[in-house]
Structure 1
């Protein structure tokens, strides 16, 4: 099979993996004639860093052959799809060639399982090793790891990759046993725990090295960290939404447990996409894409706004998030006794619960009110959605009149996905 055809097949096969962010890596570049590539700046997959930078990644599978027969996966063993497989040399060549053409700034590499988990993981790690050690590639590398692989292979992967991810796939053990019986839930959790230990140990080693000053010509200067990095951008995972009957409350509870137990950087949510020749116990239609969007919004509330998972899903909603409005607004409408909030006196944790106020806006309001009392015009200067905020706050020149207006009903257009 020609390399171009392999690329078409294996890039398309990788499109279902949503856990492909590129934030948090170690800053590296080829300035000064050393190495190839960079993981800084702007650069066939686009990921976005927290500061808004767009980073392009070559997103492919090493192979879409797979021994496992997960019912929700288009690449499962019994799926009637075109198969292809890259060699290690081909992936290395493609990555370097695309970088030199200014098409990418990094690599996202996953794979179906061939021969054995260990053999597959060895191939994936070898790609990263050759890029780093033989070609001095300094771009971003994200490796999808195989939880059933030997612990030493996972440890080696972290030495070359900026981020590692292990997909938990489904939010409950029962769903995983039903739709992917060959996957080992225990192995997934053990591998996540091992990665966390390695990441924590590497961070601690670097802190210890950085804390020891060196003396240069009699002057004490900070020592440049010499301890090796291990997956400096952390680990992430992905859950498929809508392939089973699990409600949003359970999904968010699982995410909260993953964040707390394994210190994950991100949990990604991927709306189930119906696949050809699907099993009878899978849904025939994809869930509304807005459901995936609401889960991401709810996930953001847990990570940055101090919400607990159990708070976010309404008691009257049957464990499901509202599709008509974002979960922060839905929570505010369900708790009128908590509002209005005095912008000039409320602590940060309460301000973060006001619909329309983001983390940066809240921090700016806190800084501004140290100087003078806040007024309505201050909200306009901060470019926050004033009409959204005003029903939930009071200030020196504003007291809301009555409850917040009811949420508008979502009216899907004909032919729309949601």
Structure 2
């Protein structure tokens, strides 16, 4: 083995893979068997993140950065003047095993540029996973990136070896895709996604009838879209996400802020990359849709097409709907409790459980862990020390900002913070 050449390939293809943020590995449960290597139980996969928020927990590489397509937003497009490389199937297998044995990684995230066509590339990705499972007895986490346009037969085989599959829809709207990647067809992204969804449903149905059914993509499927390359509003992005969550049973949608890589009149100018704050706001909105019971039209619509940068989407919604507040934490239902800024899912469950035994006051809520800096303007409880009355949205927003600034200053000055804590009564 030419170690210098392998090292060079790894440098090129790991760097090219950094633009793909769709590598979360939660949700799989593939137990170790026959004294094999690793496992991918929920606790077995750990994540670390770079300063810009990107996941680096897996050996994350491309099989190749050669590509037959010329997508304007992609660093590996065929017209881009970059150094090219390609791994052999066995080289990826050996790298994964050696890295795992050295405790560098918990699993593999493997994507690829498209060699000759979709099926040829997908076959090689599957070959890596198959060799790891059958020849190396590797039971760690494997995430394969599905190739748009790959056949149903290959997608079925991929799910038998991978824990998670994902196909990137790349651009949120079909109009944007036609502008920036005219050689691609949105239908080619949908086809493998539909196949994986149907196979997962079939596996679950068969599992109810038969004990021994081969695992099929136990961690489900995900997708990724590029934010800011084609001018979509936050509403257009999140409506697309809602569509795919509903119709394709996705586990996650990832949002990757566009990073300009070269001049192209169709793209934002170099130096105008999407702020990480916008990514963060989109993820917060995604979370509200999936776990807090919000409908997308409540958060984003024609009147509010973009998220506010200075406040999170939950607080933004609450300030626009003050007529629904304050609510009494001792009587309100779960739906409304989840809509209170400062209340998380765990806090709400604790509140509902605790109020079975007593009426809750401000001290009880603090013990539960609710963020009262925000919540106190939207709730009442078993106390009259603080009551929310006749405050406008602007006034509440200003008070929250003021309290947040005071806490930050207190963190910078521990002595002052201690003094204030000793001389400040509870709400």
What TM-score comes out, normalization by structure 2 length? 0.87
Find the counterpart in structure 2 of residue 401 from structure 1.
389
1:129 aligns with 2:130: yes
Q: Secondary structure at the match of 1:164?
A: strand
**Mean CA deviation greater in 400-409 or 94-103:** 400-409
Cα distance, 1:377 vs structure 2: 0.9
Q: Secondary structure at the match of 1:332?
A: helix
**Contact 1:314-1:321 within 8 A present in 2 as well:** no
1:269 aligns with 2:250: no
1:343 aligns with 2:329: yes
Distance 2:329 2:177 in 1: 46
Query: Within 5 Å, which residues of 2 pair with 1:280-359?
Result: 280-284=265-269, 285-313=272-300, 316-317=303-304, 319-359=305-345
Find the counterpart in structure 1 of residue 411 from structure 2.
none
| 1:326-364 CA-partner distances (Å, limit 9, x unpaired) | 000000001110100110111101110000111111011
Choose the corresponding residue for 1:365, options 310, 331, 351. Answer: 351
**Contact 1:45-1:59 within 8 A present in 2 as well:** no
Distance 1:152 1:322 in 2: 45
Cα distance, 1:208 vs structure 2: 2.4
Gaps of 5+ in 2: 406-427
Find the counterpart in structure 1 of residue 171 from structure 2.
170
**Contact 1:21-1:47 within 8 A present in 2 as well:** no
**Contact 2:151-2:192 within 8 A present in 1 as well:** no
Find the counterpart in structure 1 of residue 374 from structure 2.
388
Q: Secondary structure at the match of 1:142?
A: strand
Residues 370 and 44 (structure 1), Cα distance of their counterparts in 2 relative to 1, 3 Å cut: closer
Distance 1:307 1:166 in 2: 26
Find the counterpart in structure 2 of residue 9 from structure 1.
12
Residues 371 and 43 (structure 1), Cα distance of their counterparts in 2 relative to 1, 3 Å cut: closer
Find the counterpart in structure 2 of residue 219 from structure 1.
none
Query: Within 5 Å, which residues of 2 pair with 1:102-181?
Result: 102-181=103-182
Q: Secondary structure at the match of 1:307?
A: coil
Distance 1:43 1:192 in 2: 24
| 1:290-318 CA-partner distances (Å, limit 9, x unpaired) | 1111000000000001111111126544x
Runs of 4+ in 1 over 6 A off after TM superposition: none
Distance 1:117 1:44 in 2: 31
**Contact 1:271-1:287 within 8 A present in 2 as well:** yes
Residues 55 and 239 (structure 1), Cα distance of their counterparts in 2 relative to 1, 3 Å cut: closer
Find the counterpart in structure 2 of residue 218 from structure 1.
none
Cα distance, 1:115 vs structure 2: 1.2
RMSD: 2.1
Q: Secondary structure at the match of 1:149?
A: coil
Count of residues paired in the alignment: 387
Choose the corresponding residue for 1:28, options 23, 31, 37. Answer: 31
**Contact 1:65-1:77 within 8 A present in 2 as well:** yes
**Contact 1:44-1:58 within 8 A present in 2 as well:** no
**Mean CA deviation greater in 199-208 or 265-274:** 199-208
**Contact 1:390-1:400 within 8 A present in 2 as well:** yes
**Contact 1:99-1:105 within 8 A present in 2 as well:** yes
**Contact 2:125-2:144 within 8 A present in 1 as well:** yes
Cα distance, 1:379 vs structure 2: 1.1
Q: Secondary structure at the match of 2:397?
A: coil
Cα distance, 1:38 vs structure 2: 2.2
Distance 2:192 2:279 in 1: 26
Cα distance, 1:203 vs structure 2: 1.3
Q: Secondary structure at the match of 1:357?
A: coil
Distance 1:306 1:145 in 2: 30
Cα distance, 1:191 vs structure 2: 1.7
Residues 185 and 314 (structure 1), Cα distance of their counterparts in 2 relative to 1, 3 Å cut: closer
Find the counterpart in structure 2 of residue 194 from structure 1.
195
What TM-score comes out, normalization by structure 1 length? 0.89
